[in-house]
């Protein structure tokens, strides 16, 4: 029986082109989605864009255009970039689509019907970049500036509908406390717990002064607060509230919401409270990853250290999309903050070329030169058994790493196997064995073990580096299509399989000028 796996990225604000942060989350989610497809799971991977709110209106005004023109223009860039970067999302939701608007209105109607929304008035601080209400205490602590962008907070005073967040907060807190792996990583989970312990107020969920949004169904002079609108995408994309709820019935609750750490509060508190009010099951897991900086500083265009779309396109064109994916996911344990440096980027390119590419090349050259096809395994020594046992361990270790969102491990485990295979080739010295006819059977065994190791490495890299791993497997004469990772690992490389010399798989970094 296959499992089903539903995962999402945040839906991004199309007020500017995607940059490395958006690419990071999306490539991480894509890797997990590909793993689950390769594990035979019925997988649904959703991304999209969050198109309402004051931030979008302000950007449109700055550019002298209507918000709809802005969003259509930038959303097209997001969609094009995900296509270029071979992101395998199954759907792309836009919050300006009728399917979403209808769903949000249904959701708000239900919240109204359960008595969880009431009319009041809001006076307080607002972070327009984050689209977030800020309490008086927090505003004071932050010197009335945004904790994220540093821009001044804005004072709001207006009539507004409120959601009874305070009614659900104790249940949300209890749920988070009782479910260790609902919110990850643990350090961020603890931050959410302590903030919840301080108590939360009801949430203002409508804006009367804003036109750009989804009208409140009971009072169209107000539009729905952009975070209530945005969070709903995770179910409206599945047809929740429409005539066809088959996807919702199949895929909800979501297995994984992948997000950045700065939006954890919305996902771990507002969203579960909304779902509780709707009587729906909660997500299985919310994972908040860390933030990219560059050369130890916050990325910014003015500092010239911004890893934007142009740079991403340039690197993908020069080194391949997969090398970029490898760098991003290998850079730090998933969940930690990350720092982009040219030196680290080059180091990871060298690692791919010197460890994986080199292992594949050595093996292809030796087998083609000495045998022409994969020889059978003969009598074994401890060295051989060690490598074979590492090969056998790869499938279960990867399964464990993917199940726990340890994406750095997902990158390193296969590469470490290739490193072990390189060490094995150095230790067994097949080029010397080849000179001695007495050692023919030993040479067969050594070549066999080395070949199985690089084959398993490439299979293990399929979710993370789909094109390079497949290209490598094709050099070995294998077509991985239609098989699960475990089937491919269990089958191994067939004895007698013809093997020819190969081409280098990876491009090395350019020497500094």
C-beta closer to ligand ME8: residue 316 or 488: 316
Question: Judged by CB under 6 A, which stretch of 4-12, 163-171, 359-367, 426-434 contacts ligand ME8?
Answer: 4-12
Location of structure tokens 């800020």: 134
Beta pairing class for 117-127 and 154-163: antiparallel
* Inter-axis angle of helices 309-319 and 321-330, nearest 10: 110
C-beta closer to ligand ME8: residue 24 or 163: 24
Q: What's the burial of 199, exposed, middle or buried (CB within 10 Å: 0-12/13-18/19+)?
A: exposed
As measured in angstroms, the least distance from the Cβ of 51 to ligand ME8 is 9
Is 10 one of the binding residues for ligand ME8 (CB under 6 A)? Answer: yes
Question: Judged by CB under 6 A, which stretch of 17-25, 74-82, 188-196, 472-480 contacts ligand ME8?
Answer: 17-25
Is 13 one of the binding residues for ligand ME8 (CB under 6 A)? Answer: yes
As measured in angstroms, the least distance from the Cβ of 287 to ligand ME8 is 10
Is 162 one of the binding residues for ligand ME8 (CB under 6 A)? Answer: no
The tokens for 479 are 């077509």
DSSP run (H or E) holding 419? helix 407-428
Q: Which of residues 219-238 bind ligand ME8 (CB under 6 A)?
A: 230-231
Is 21 one of the binding residues for ligand ME8 (CB under 6 A)? Answer: yes
Q: Which of residues 283-312 bind ligand ME8 (CB under 6 A)?
A: 291-292
As measured in angstroms, the least distance from the Cβ of 18 to ligand ME8 is 8
DSSP string, 370-404: HTSBPPPP-S--HHHHHHHHHHHHHHHHHHHHHHT
Is 56 one of the binding residues for ligand ME8 (CB under 6 A)? Answer: no
Kindly determine how many residues on this chain lie close enough to bind ligand ME8 according to the rule CB under 6 A.
17
Q: Are 494 and 452 in contact (CB under 8 A)?
A: no
Backbone phi and psi for residue 424, each to the nearest 5 degrees, phi listed first:
-65, -40
Half-sphere exposure of 25 (CA within 13 A, CB side): 27
As measured in angstroms, the least distance from the Cβ of 22 to ligand ME8 is 5
Among 5, 7, 25, 473, binds ligand ME8 (CB under 6 A): 25
C-beta closer to ligand ME8: residue 367 or 407: 407
Q: Are 455 and 502 in contact (CB under 8 A)?
A: no
C-beta closer to ligand ME8: residue 50 or 384: 50
C-beta closer to ligand ME8: residue 11 or 275: 11
Neighbouring CB atoms inside 10 A of 119's CB total 12
C-beta closer to ligand ME8: residue 13 or 82: 13
Among 50, 116, 128, 406, binds ligand ME8 (CB under 6 A): 50
C-beta closer to ligand ME8: residue 216 or 264: 264
C-beta closer to ligand ME8: residue 291 or 370: 291
As measured in angstroms, the least distance from the Cβ of 13 to ligand ME8 is 4
Q: How far apart are CA 209 and CA 221, in angstroms?
A: 9
3-state secondary structure of 363: helix
As measured in angstroms, the least distance from the Cβ of 137 to ligand ME8 is 23
Question: Judged by CB under 6 A, which stretch of 18-26, 150-158, 457-465, 471-479 contacts ligand ME8?
Answer: 18-26
Q: How far apart are CA 305 and CA 292, in angstroms?
A: 11
DSSP run (H or E) holding 160? strand 154-163
The tokens for 440 are 């023919």
User: Which residues, in sequence order, are CB contacts of 93 under 8 Å at separation 6+?
Assistant: 11, 46, 47, 48, 49, 99, 100, 233, 236, 237
C-beta closer to ligand ME8: residue 252 or 291: 291
Contacts with ligand ME8 by CB under 6 A lie at: 10-13, 21-22, 24-25, 50, 230-231, 259-260, 262-263, 291-292
């Amino acid at each position: 029986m296959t499992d089903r796996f539903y995962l999402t990225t945040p839906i991004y604000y199309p007020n500017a082109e995607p940059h490395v942060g958006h690419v990071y989350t999306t490539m991480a989610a894509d890797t997990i989605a590909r793993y689950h497809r390769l594990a035979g799971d019925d997988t649904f991977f959703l991304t999209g864009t969050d198109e309402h709110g004051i931030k979008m209106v302000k950007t449109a005004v700055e550019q002298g255009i209507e918000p709809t023109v802005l969003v259509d223009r930038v959303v097209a860039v997001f969609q094009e970039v995900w296509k270029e970067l071979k992101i395998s999302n199954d759907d792309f939701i836009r919050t300006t689509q009728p399917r979403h608007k209808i769903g949000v209105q249904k959701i708000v109607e239900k919240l109204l019907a359960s008595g969880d929304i009431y009319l009041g008035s809001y006076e307080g601080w607002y972070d327009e970049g984050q689209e977030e209400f800020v309490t008086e205490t927090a505003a004071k602590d932050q010197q009335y500036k945004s904790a994220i962008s540093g821009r001044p907070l804005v004072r709001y005073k207006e009539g507004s509908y409120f959601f009874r967040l305070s009614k659900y907060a104790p249940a949300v807190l209890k749920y988070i406390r009782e479910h260790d792996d609902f919110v990850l990583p643990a350090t961020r989970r603890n931050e959410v717990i302590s903030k919840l312990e301080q108590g939360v107020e009801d949430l203002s969920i409508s804006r009367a002064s804003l036109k750009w949004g989804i009208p409140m169904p009971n009072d169209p002079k107000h539009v729905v607060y952009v975070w209530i609108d945005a969070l709903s995408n995770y179910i409206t994309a599945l047809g929740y509230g429409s005539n066809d709820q088959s996807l919702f019935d199949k895929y909800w609750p979501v297995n994984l919401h992948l997000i950045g750490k700065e939006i954890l509060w919305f996902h771990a508190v507002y969203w579960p409270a909304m779902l509780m009010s709707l009587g729906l099951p909660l997500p299985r897991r919310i994972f908040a990853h860390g933030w990219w900086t560059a050369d130890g500083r916050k990325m910014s265009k003015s500092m010239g250290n911004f890893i934007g779309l142009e740079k991403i396109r340039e690197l993908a064109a020069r080194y391949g999309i997969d090398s970029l994916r490898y760098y991003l996911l290998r850079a730090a344990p998933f969940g930690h903050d990350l720092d982009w440096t040219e030196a680290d980027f080059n180091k990871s390119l060298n690692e791919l070329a010197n460890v994986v590419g080199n292992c594949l090349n050595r093996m292809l050259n030796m087998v083609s030169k000495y045998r022409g096809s994969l020889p059978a395994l003969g009598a074994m020594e401890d060295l051989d058994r060690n490598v074979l046992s590492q090969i056998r361990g790869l499938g279960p270790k990867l399964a464990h790493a993917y199940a726990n969102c340890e994406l750095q491990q997902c990158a390193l485990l296969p590469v470490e196997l290739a490193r072990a295979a390189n060490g094995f080739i150095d230790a067994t010295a097949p080029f010397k064995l080849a000179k001695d006819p007495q050692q023919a059977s030993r040479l067969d065994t050594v070549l066999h073990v080395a070949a199985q190791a690089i084959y398993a490495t490439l299979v293990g890299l399929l979710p993370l580096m789909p094109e390079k791993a497949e290209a490598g497997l094709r050099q070995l004469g294998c077509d991985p299509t239609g098989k699960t990772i475990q089937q491919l690992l269990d089958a191994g490389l067939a004895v007698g399989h013809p093997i020819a010399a190969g081409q280098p798989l990876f491009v090395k970094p350019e020497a500094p000028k």
